């Protein structure tokens, strides 16, 4: 009697969660009693019961950011040891891994996906370069911060009081995410939609049944996602607050499921009731807070404690701490390896609790059977648009996606059109999904939930420097979304070296084919001496040169070919340039400078492309530009009080053709090294102005590094020249690196100052000169922070060490 009582107590422990298991245990009571009598001497009653039970296995994968890649190693270890996996679920990163596995991917295939450059781009919000659209790019600016301005409507209504009309209140729309969601949104539909459609959007019909957990933050509860768009479910489960933009499904706003249930073993038992649950946990029992880690702080603010204490009777938890950050996806291979090695420690224990295996041939057959149902992803030719867009605005989205009138819309067409529309900057929410039609033979219908951005934006930026290169930049823009969008922007830039303002207008006049026209009113001044650019020495007074320009620049542009991102542009500049300068440093405050006034008309044809990851200190991508320009210039010169042997006044016309080819490109040669090159060839007619300084300023300059834009570059200007350089980059992280450059400038004929404003040209191919630069750079969220030193072999001062926070980006010269 005592033995039977003890046995019942143990059975109650084993089957503590569900009544069906209690009934099952009582049914086998005679068998258990016999086993107990046989093994009573050993005292291992519980162990014997656990060995004999277990036929179905459910796997639970916790969230944990990049640490969740360890789950791939766990799954690999389970497969290699023939441990069956009948059900799988996960939260956040566990949802991604679980969904990939349930879709029929092997652990090796999953690892290849997660360590690929494409996946890294998804997690960083970087579009695939071959689909990135250059069409909507505007000239680079020193913008560091950009905020949207919205209009908030408010009804002044009090119960019992007369109705008052709506009042509008200006509000700032702060960004809700750090990382652009567009690459991830598109990647998830690309990766999961074919498998979800094959399963008729029922996750139980995938290769193995699957579910994931998302967080309903309105009702503050976890939600089990087991039907619908598989990619959307995964996207909801992994939407970490402030990192990724939240997602709306059926009018419910979802965030990362780890906020409320980061280890859903209880849901696994409720849904599938497996005989054994194998849990893979890659995080600690409590949120690990770090004063220097914003992700951990956000997690600490929002996360509800998760129950990781799965009882031994339910299953086994494979867990350890992984020394990696939330976003360290570049360590995918070593994280997966640690997960594999850790899982091997539990294999014997798991096998003791199972009485069946799943061989590799059985698993391969299961994968093959499911994948035979999967078809290439194609959509109906016209997508469905939902959101707050007007019919004209919806037409903009449709024409961006559907470039022609195909019978079906391919994934390739979707990706190209999606990135094109997203790059316009006119759309806020832009989430792709699909609807399976009633006719199973018809392609899925693409659905795009789309909202527009606030039309008004304010921008601020500039540069903080240890030298005189401090700049302040501010601007405001208005964007109008319609079938033919347009934008207008006003900005100004103030500093000792550069002062400027512009009014810029752009109208996208056609979407099929793509084309735009633009106009820019500008006024700017370059002061080539106004303060100290060097850290450790004071300046003596050099020749003071100022160039003031104002005018109108207009252009028409269209892509040469969408796949290559090359733009063809026809432009023209009408400007007036006023240059004031002294020919030497022998002047006083009572002297008057020389003045040259130029009237310019300059038509040009340009082919260009820019795919660099950063406008300053790039580490990947490239920039190519080919320009043919003809300058009609009328010069008026008035000599100052310190110029003696030149005509006091003169007037001349100078017309010249300029052809310029420029290429800059970077190649990744490993995780921590990138190698770039710069090459430029410039050929132009002979510019012979009234004096040395004026002639020098009209000559093209070779500027391989950012600091070159702040100097007159006397030793690096020529009517015709060749410039080449290499840029080795040592990457400590993706955003922290040592960027170096060494370049050589070879003029065809050099300009020499012979004194008092007179000049002469050298013979062909005189000795060239070197420019070198080394900069420790952190590409921060607001712009580059650089500790740099620039060397000029042919300069009045050879070395310029500086610290800069921001952008050394200025307005384009009228003649360039």
pLDDT score of 190: 92
User: Residue range 19-41: average pLDDT?
Assistant: 38
CB count within 10 Å of CB 653 equals 9
pLDDT score of 120: 87
User: Residue range 57-80: average pLDDT?
Assistant: 95
pLDDT score of 17: 38
Confidence at 524, pLDDT banded by 50, 70, 90? very high
CA atoms within 13 A on the CB side of 244: 28
Confidence at 95, pLDDT banded by 50, 70, 90? very high
What confidence tens digit (pLDDT) does each residue in 320-378 have? 888 888 888 889 999 999 999 999 999 999 999 998 899 999 999 999 999 999 999 99
pLDDT score of 160: 46
The Cα 260–Cα 243 span in angstroms is 17
Confidence at 185, pLDDT banded by 50, 70, 90? very high
pLDDT score of 785: 97
**432 pLDDT exceeds 90?**
yes
DSSP state of 147: E
**203 pLDDT exceeds 90?**
yes
Confidence at 724, pLDDT banded by 50, 70, 90? very high
**Mean pLDDT over all residues of the chain?**
85
Instruction: Tell me the two tokens of residue 380.
Output: 């109906």
Residue 77: which H helix or E strand, with range?
Answer: helix 70-80
Q: Which of 552-566, 582-596, 733-747 has the highest mean pLDDT?
A: 733-747
pLDDT score of 244: 86
pLDDT score of 313: 92
pLDDT score of 158: 40
**653 pLDDT exceeds 60?**
yes
Provide DSSP, 519-546: EEEEEEEEES-SS---SSSPPP----EE
**239 pLDDT exceeds 80?**
yes
What confidence tens digit (pLDDT) does each residue in 591-626 have? 889 999 999 999 999 999 998 999 999 999 999 999
Q: What residue has token string 């967080």?
A: 215
202 to 215, 257, 369: CA distances (angstroms): 20, 20, 17
User: Residue range 772-791: average pLDDT?
Assistant: 96
The Cα 781–Cα 373 span in angstroms is 44
pLDDT score of 170: 62
634 or 10, higher pLDDT: 634
3-state SS, residue 706? helix
**28 pLDDT exceeds 50?**
no
pLDDT score of 288: 57
Confidence at 34, pLDDT banded by 50, 70, 90? very low
| pTM for this entry | 0.80
**33 pLDDT exceeds 60?**
no
Contact present, 280 and 319 (Cβ < 8 Å): yes
pLDDT score of 439: 82
pLDDT score of 106: 96
**Above pLDDT 70, what percent of the chain?**
86
pLDDT score of 159: 41
What confidence tens digit (pLDDT) does each residue in 446-502 have? 999 999 999 999 999 999 999 889 999 999 999 999 989 999 999 999 999 999 999
For 703, list phi and psi in degrees, rounded to 5. Answer: -130, 80
How would you class 599 by CB atoms within 10 Å of its CB: exposed for 0-12, middle for 13-18, buried for 19 or more?
Answer: middle
User: Residue range 211-222: average pLDDT?
Assistant: 93
């Amino acid at each position: 009697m005592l033995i039977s009582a003890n046995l019942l107590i143990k059975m109650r422990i084993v089957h503590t969660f569900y009544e069906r298991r209690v009934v099952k245990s009582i049914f086998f009571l005679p068998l258990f009693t016999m086993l107990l009598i046989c093994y009573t001497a050993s005292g291992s009653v519980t162990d014997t019961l656990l060995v004999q039970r277990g036929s179905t296995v459910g796997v639970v994968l916790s969230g944990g950011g990049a640490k969740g890649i360890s789950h791939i190693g766990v799954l690999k270890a389970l497969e290699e040891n023939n441990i069956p996996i009948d059900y799988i679920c996960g939260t956040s990163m566990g949802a991604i891994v679980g969904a990939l596995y349930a879709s029929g991917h092997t652990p090796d295939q999953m690892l290849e996906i997660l360590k690929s450059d494409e996946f890294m781009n998804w997690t960083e919000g970087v579009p695939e370069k071959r689909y990135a659209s250059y069409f909507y790019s505007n000239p680079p600016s020193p913008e560091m911060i950009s905020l949207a301005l919205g209009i908030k409507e408010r009804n002044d209504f009090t119960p019992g009081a007369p109705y008052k009309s709506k009042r509008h209140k200006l509000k700032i729309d702060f960004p809700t995410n750090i990382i652009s969601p567009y690459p991830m949104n598109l990647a998830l539909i690309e990766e999961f939609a074919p498998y979800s459609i094959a399963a008729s959007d029922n996750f139980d019909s995938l290769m193995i049944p699957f579910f994931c957990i998302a967080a309903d933050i309105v009702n503050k509860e976890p939600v089990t996602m087991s039907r619908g768009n598989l990619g959307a479910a995964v996207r909801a489960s992994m939407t970490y607050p402030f990192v990724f933009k939240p997602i709306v499904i059926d009018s419910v706003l979802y965030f990362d499921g780890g906020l409320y249930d980061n280890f859903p073993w209880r849901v696994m038992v409720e849904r599938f009731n497996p005989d054994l649950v194998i849990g893979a946990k890659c995080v600690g029992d409590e949120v690990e807070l770090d004063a220097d880690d914003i992700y951990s702080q956000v997690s600490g603010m929002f996360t509800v404690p998760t129950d990781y204490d799965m009882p031994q009777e339910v299953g086994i938890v494979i867990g350890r701490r992984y020394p990696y950050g939330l976003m360290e996806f570049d360590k995918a291979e070593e994280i997966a390896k640690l997960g594999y090695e850790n899982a091997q420690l539990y294999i014997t224990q798991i096998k003791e609790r199972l009485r069946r295996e799943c061989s590799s041939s059985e698993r391969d057959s299961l994968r093959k059977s499911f994948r035979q149902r999967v078809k290439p992803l194609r959509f109906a030719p016209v997508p469905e648009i939902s959101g707050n867009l007007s019919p004209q605005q919806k037409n903009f989205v449709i024409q961006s996606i559907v470039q022609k009138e195909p019978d079906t819309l391919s994934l390739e067409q979707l990706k190209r059109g999606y990135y094109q529309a997203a790059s316009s900057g006119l759309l806020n929410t832009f989430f792709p999904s699909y609807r399976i039609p009633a006719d199973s033979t018809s392609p899925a219908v693409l659905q795009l939930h789309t909202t527009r951005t606030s039309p008004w934006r304010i921008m601020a930026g500039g540069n903080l420097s240890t030298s005189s290169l401090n700049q302040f930049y501010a601007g405001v823009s208005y964007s109008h979304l319609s079938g033919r969008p347009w934008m207008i922007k006003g900005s100004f830039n103030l500093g000792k070296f550069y002062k400027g303002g512009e009014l810029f207008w752009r109208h996208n006049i056609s979407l099929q084919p793509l084309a735009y026209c633009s106009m820019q009113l500008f006024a700017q001044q370059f002061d080539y001496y106004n303060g100290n650019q060097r850290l450790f020495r004071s300046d003596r007074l050099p020749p003071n040169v100022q160039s003031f320009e104002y005018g109108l620049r207009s252009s028409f542009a269209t892509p040469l070919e969408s796949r290559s991102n090359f733009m063809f542009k026809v432009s023209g500049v009408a400007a007036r340039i006023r240059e004031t300068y002294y020919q030497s440093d022998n002047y006083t405050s009572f002297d008057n400078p020389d003045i040259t006034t130029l009237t310019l008309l300059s038509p040009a044809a340009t082919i260009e492309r820019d795919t660099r990851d950063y406008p300053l200190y790039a580490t990947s991508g490239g920039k190519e530009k080919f320009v043919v320009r003809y300058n009609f210039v009328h010069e008026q010169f008035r000599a100052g009080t310190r110029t003696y042997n030149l005509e006091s006044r003169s007037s001349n016309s100078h017309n010249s053709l300029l052809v310029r080819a420029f290429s800059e490109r970077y190649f990744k040669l490993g995780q921590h090294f990138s190698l770039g090159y710069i090459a430029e060839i410039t050929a132009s007619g002979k510019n012979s102005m009234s004096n040395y300084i004026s002639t020098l300023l009209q000559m093209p300059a070779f500027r391989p590094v950012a600091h070159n834009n702040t100097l007159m570059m006397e030793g690096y200007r020529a009517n015709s020249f060749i410039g080449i350089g290499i840029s080795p980059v040592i990457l400590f992280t993706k955003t922290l690196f040592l960027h170096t450059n060494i370049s050589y400038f070879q003029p065809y004929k050099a300009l020499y100052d012979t004194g008092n404003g007179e000049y002469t040209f050298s013979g062909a191919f005189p000795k060239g000169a070197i420019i070198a630069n080394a900069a420790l750079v952190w590409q921060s969220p607001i712009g580059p922070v650089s500790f740099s030193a620039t060397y000029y072999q042919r300069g009045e001062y050879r070395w310029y060490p500086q610290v800069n926070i921001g952008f050394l980006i200025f307005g384009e010269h009228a003649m360039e």
